[in-house]
Amino acid sequence: MIRLDKITKQNGRQLVFIEASAALQRGEKVGLVGPNGAGKTTLFRMIIGQEQPDEGQVAADRGITIGYFSQDVGEMSGRSVVTEVMDGAGPVSAVAAELAELGAALADPDRADEMDALIERYGEVQARFEELDGYALEGRAREVLDGLSFSQEMMDGDVGALSGGWKMRVALARILLMRPDVMLLDEPSNHLDLESLIWLESFLKAYDGALLMTSHDREFMNRIVTKVIEIDGGALTTFSGDFAFYEGQRKLNEAQQ
């Protein structure tokens, strides 16, 4: 699905990658490990096209969808939490937004002379919303938010009123609801309480796409991943096993040197 072929990348004076290669296949759950500053975020950004390698190639299968959760959630305000989460779900989010606008217009007495046109358009947009399974989408959005410990009151409240940690959960919920072909998760376990962590683990285990994730919670990672890609000294090394297997192999390699 995604291939990194002999990539070289320099950030300032630091050589982050030197002819490094790795691959992410359909259905794989992979842990990305390495010391702070080794290039984990740079790797994610190259996969989604926000950065380019200086040499080599990052290739993805045609038509695949990629969802990226980072620690930089951006600006969120002016709408409900559940609407913010649904906004990450592709075309249906734009249809949902228009449906909400039309609903408000129909209730506006100052637009009574437009009523016939508004009713006709509302019918068209509502049909499209149903065709895209929009009503079920809102239900799924609320399920994901519930799993991440949001109350119903919080779901319907202004996303702008949330703290930074809760906005992180909103950003994570957007990616989970999207269910892309490939999920890139940079520290998804940050800011989560134990119940949310247990729910997220269950969700990711059941997810049938390809997953590449970092986490300082090694136990959490160990229970999810079946393969580890290590960044070390500009190289990418792949270990076929969980995080515990990777640690064992590392110790073995160090003992042999």
Average pLDDT over residues 204-209: 96
Average pLDDT over residues 235-240: 95
Question: What band does 257 get if pLDDT is binned at 50, 70 and 90?
Answer: confident
CB 33 within 8 A of CB 236: no
φ/ψ of 195, rounded to 5, equals -60, -45
Q: What is the pTM of this model?
A: 0.84
Task: Answer whether residue 134 shows pLDDT above 90.
Answer: no
Residue 90 DSSP code: T
CA of 24: how far to CAs of 5, 28, 76, 108, 175, in Å? Answer: 12, 7, 31, 52, 18
Question: 4-18, 74-88, 223-237: which range is least confident on average?
Answer: 74-88
The per-residue pLDDT for 210 is 97
Question: What band does 131 get if pLDDT is binned at 50, 70 and 90?
Answer: confident
The per-residue pLDDT for 88 is 75
**pLDDT tens digit sequence for 52-72:** 999 999 999 998 989 999 988
CA angle 48, 49, 50 (to 5 degrees): 100
Question: 13-27, 86-100, 114-128, 191-205: which range is least confident on average?
Answer: 86-100
Query: 218 or 135: which carries more pLDDT confidence?
Result: 218
Task: Answer whether residue 89 shows pLDDT above 90.
Answer: no
Average pLDDT over residues 192-210: 96
Average pLDDT over residues 170-178: 94
Q: Tell me what the pLDDT averaged over the chain comes to.
A: 92
Question: What band does 25 get if pLDDT is binned at 50, 70 and 90?
Answer: very high
Average pLDDT over residues 2-17: 93
Task: Tell me which of 1.10.1470.10, 3.40.50.450, 3.40.50.300, 3.20.20.70 is the CATH number of domain 2-72+164-256.
Answer: 3.40.50.300
Average pLDDT over residues 47-51: 94
Percent of the chain exceeding pLDDT 90 equals: 74
> Could you give the CA distance from residue 72 to residue 128 in angstroms, rounded to a whole number?
33
Question: 92-96, 230-234, 252-256: which range is least confident on average?
Answer: 92-96
CB 167 within 8 A of CB 76: yes
Q: Delimit the domains of the chain by residue range.
A: 2-72+164-256, 83-159
